[in-house]
């Protein structure tokens, strides 16, 4: 990995749509309920209160590979376990140099105490593995291999889920190998697809590696966000727009932002909810159920995936409350159609030994040419199914309308790479 390839950024926007004031109690940041929680529209959309009657993510540990996580916010007290400073910069993993990592941790596992962000999986715990972004790399001497090292360390930890809400423009074989190592160890690694769709729509990493779960972002109306990077590498989508975030590293106020960072956090939390309910499942089974229970449109052809939503929009309540989705083969990865990361992998498998199963359902070969695609997702009103989830995740609102080229593909190039 070259020094240049270490340049990365967080996938949440720095620009705020609104500033939400907050106060301090001692040195711990505290916000008011009207600030953060009033903007957590997706919790109502997912009918989170009903989900939490069955699963809150208890017993799950999620590694947050990011800018650090401040464990002293009102919403994170008692939620952050011992982590690791992989950046090797000033401070440690509890020193969040941008506020981004703390936001991600709260979106996943925040308790909502003091009016802070309430996580989708408030029963889960997070572990901060701090890495550098471009700004920190420019200002301080850091570990040039911190992303690779963080993923490998997370794979060797007792956490089940790894959240990477950061991205680089540059492909790195060592980081790809680390992602494959994590898959072989039975982990689920969720990574933000990127926020450059309305600019260059360039594939981002680690989301672009086959063994990572690439997450796209949607808005309140169920439309694919115009910034959400798309292509044949997208696996699933989650709400990412109009989401509360800490404005900066001072953690004095919340803003409202957008990005696949936040969609990734909600995908990780969704996995934690499902896995907590089914603790004997492997990562492969959890992910397969996520794919099968995801919200899809009426025109979505069986056996296909979207270059914009992947298998659909996360819908943990569909499984938890209504049993949608079958876990299937514990040893077969729904990402790569290889026998990897199953019960043996959890005990310490080897990614290099993963072998494809020719009888597995195809989901990873070359799609039809989608160059020149200009795709939108139809919006909807406030209708909901019996789980309380708006139609944006189950009906026509999630259906991709093709204006040019093909938006669906039975299988995708990157899976065979």
pLDDT of residue 414: 33
> Rounded to an integer, what distance in angstroms lies between the CA atom of residue 60 and that of residue 81?
12
Distance CA 308, CA 303 (A): 15
Check pLDDT > 50 for residue 158: yes
Cis before 206? omega within 30: yes
Beta-sheet pairing, 375-377 with 400-402: antiparallel
Q: Kindly report, residue by residue over 49-104, the tens digit of the pLDDT.
A: 999 999 999 999 999 999 999 999 999 999 999 999 999 999 999 999 999 999 99
Active-site hit among 85, 100, 253, 373: 100
Task: Provide mean pLDDT across the span 266-290.
Answer: 98
Confidence grade of residue 12 (pLDDT, cut at 50, 70, 90)? confident
| CATH pick for 4-416 out of 3.40.50.300, 3.30.420.40, 3.40.50.200, 3.40.50.11540 | 3.40.50.200
pLDDT at 343 (0 to 100): 84
Active-site residue, 67 included:
no
- CA-to-CA separations, 332 to 162, 342, 387, 404, in angstroms, rounded: 19, 7, 29, 35
pTM, to two decimals: 0.84
Span 130-157, pLDDT tens digits: 999 999 999 999 999 999 999 999 999 9
Question: In angstroms, rounded to a whole number, what is the distance separating the alpha carbons of residues 204 and 192?
Answer: 8
Give the mean pLDDT of the chain.
81
**In this structure, are residues 226 and 250 in contact, taking their beta carbons and an 8 Å threshold?**
no
Using alpha carbons, select from 307, 292, 284, 240 the residue that is nearest to residue 10.
Answer: 240
Q: Residue 1: how many CB atoms within 10 A of its CB?
A: 17
* 261 noted as active-site residue: yes
Domain boundaries along the sequence of the chain:
4-416
CA angle 200, 204, 206 (to 5 degrees): 180
Which of 10, 168, 241, 261 does the annotation list as catalytic?
261
Q: The tokens of 321 are what?
A: 């409350």
Is 408's pLDDT higher than 60? no
Could you confirm whether 66 is annotated as catalytic?
yes
What confidence score (pLDDT) does residue 410 get? 37
pLDDT tens string 340-354: 999 864 433 444 444
For 397, residues 6+ apart whose C-beta sits below 8 A from its C-beta are 221, 222, 223, 297, 377, 378, 379, 380, 390, 391
Higher pLDDT, 16 or 202: 202
Given the residues 5, 55, 66, 364, select the one marked as catalytic. Answer: 66
Token duo for residue 35: 């600030």
- Specify the pLDDT at position 9: 78
Res 7: pLDDT: 55
């Amino acid at each position: 990995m070259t020094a240049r390839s270490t340049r990365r950024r967080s996938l949440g926007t720095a620009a705020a749509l609104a500033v939400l004031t907050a106060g301090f109690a001692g040195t711990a940041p505290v916000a008011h309920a009207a600030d953060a929680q009033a903007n957590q529209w997706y919790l109502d959309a997912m009918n989170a209160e009903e989900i939490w009657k069955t699963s809150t993510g208890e017993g799950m540990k999620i590694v947050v590979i990011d800018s650090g996580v401040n464990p002293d916010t009102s919403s994170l007290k008692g939620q952050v376990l011992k982590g690791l400073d992989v950046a090797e910069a000033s401070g440690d993993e509890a020193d969040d140099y941008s506020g981004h990592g703390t936001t991600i941790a709260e979106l996943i596992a925040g308790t909502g105490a003091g009016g802070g962000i309430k996580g989708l999986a408030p029963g889960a715990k997070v572990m901060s593995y701090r890495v550098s972004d471009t700004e920190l790399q420019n200002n301080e001497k850091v570990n040039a291999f911190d992303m690779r090292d963080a993923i490998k360390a997370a794979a060797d930890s007792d956490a089940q889920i790894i959240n990477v809400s950061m991205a680089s423009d540059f492909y790195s074989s060592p980081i790809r190998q680390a992602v494959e190592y994590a898959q072989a160890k039975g982990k689920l690694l969720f990574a933000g697809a990127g926020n450059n769709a309305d600019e260059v729509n360039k594939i981002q990493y680690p989301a672009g590696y086959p063994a990572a779960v690439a997450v796209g972002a949607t808005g309140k109306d169920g439309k694919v966000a115009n910034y959400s990077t798309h292509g044949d590498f997208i696996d699933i989508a989650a709400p990412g727009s109009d989401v509360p975030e800490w404005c900066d590293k001072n953690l004095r106020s919340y803003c409202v932002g957008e990005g696949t960072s936040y969609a990734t956090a909600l995908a990780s939390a969704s996995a934690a909810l499902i896995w907590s309910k089914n603790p004997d499942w492997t990562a492969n089974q959890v992910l397969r159920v996520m794919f099968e229970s995801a919200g899809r449109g009426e025109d979505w052809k069986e056996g296909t995936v979207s270059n914009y939503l992947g298998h659909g929009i996360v819908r943990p309540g569909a499984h938890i409350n209504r049993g949608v989705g079958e876990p299937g083969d514990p040893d077969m990865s729904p990402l790569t159609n290889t026998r990897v990361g199953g019960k043996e992998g959890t005990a310490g498998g080897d990614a290099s030994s993963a072998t494809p199963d020719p009888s597995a359902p195809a989901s990873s070969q070359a799609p039809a040419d989608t160059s020149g695609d200009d795709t939108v997702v139809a919006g909807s009103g406030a209708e909901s199914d019996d789980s309380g989830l708006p139609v944006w995740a189950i009906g026509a609102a999630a259906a991709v309308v093709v204006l040019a080229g093909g938006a669906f593909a039975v299988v995708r190039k990157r899976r065979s790479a």
